[in-house]
Structure 1
């Protein structure tokens, strides 16, 4: 299972893992828990599940269900870059901050609508104000699972780079 604080490259990492595992000749199914229903797991298939709410009560499945938990933990600077890149996309489509448990999409729904800019900035500020608290909670929960690894996503001129940084 792949998880992490909000906008940290989880979907890109899920797609990268799916391609890597598939290139080894293994059967793999990639699932985005925000948009897809979690299937009944079958033998012989490797499931790469993305769940932004993994370490919380709103998780798709209990953490015990996973054989490996990968937590994406960017530096504050990289996290800011992830946010800015995503806000540009949101501005173009006029909506952002999808959350299936709370409000769905936010924004006017009109692309390039400048009235969305303050909303998107408030969302980013809110996330950064709560980052420490959420990180502390997530890492405390995940530290109880020996099958957890921390991955550092980082923006580079060639795209996102993922580095292993720690295992519980």
Structure 2
């Protein structure tokens, strides 16, 4: 299992890029998994469903199995978020784990950056950004230590970067 991150401010197009990268990586025969961090409360269950009611009744975990997929819902109940390393241990065998978010964890990342939202890039403060994917390279601040810049639309170049830069999962550590 190797690990590679897609990072950037909200609204930059990280998920849209992942929708292109994942099938391109899978077409190369790789089994790809993903860990996505959300700053919002998430709810994948629905009120009134049996699994929702059983979680509400006090189950710490509910594993829901259907004919095409299964989902494990874990109730944190106020506990701290688990570290990325713990979440990675919960995944099944795969060749590559893509990680969206986890900006503060140290492992190779591609920053998705667009000038339009008016937010500064992350890379000056996040030295684990190995490249920047953008639709407007001219708008990026220039600096001697700036990582390589790739066109956001160049899926083939971005796939090559992921394959070249992905690291073993022992590498992530919190800043």
Q: Same fold (TM over 0.5)?
A: no
Which bracket does the TM-score occupy, shorter chain normalised? 0.3 to 0.5
More helix by proportion, 1 or 2?
1
Structure with bigger gyration radius: 2
So what's the TM-score if we normalise by structure 1? 0.44
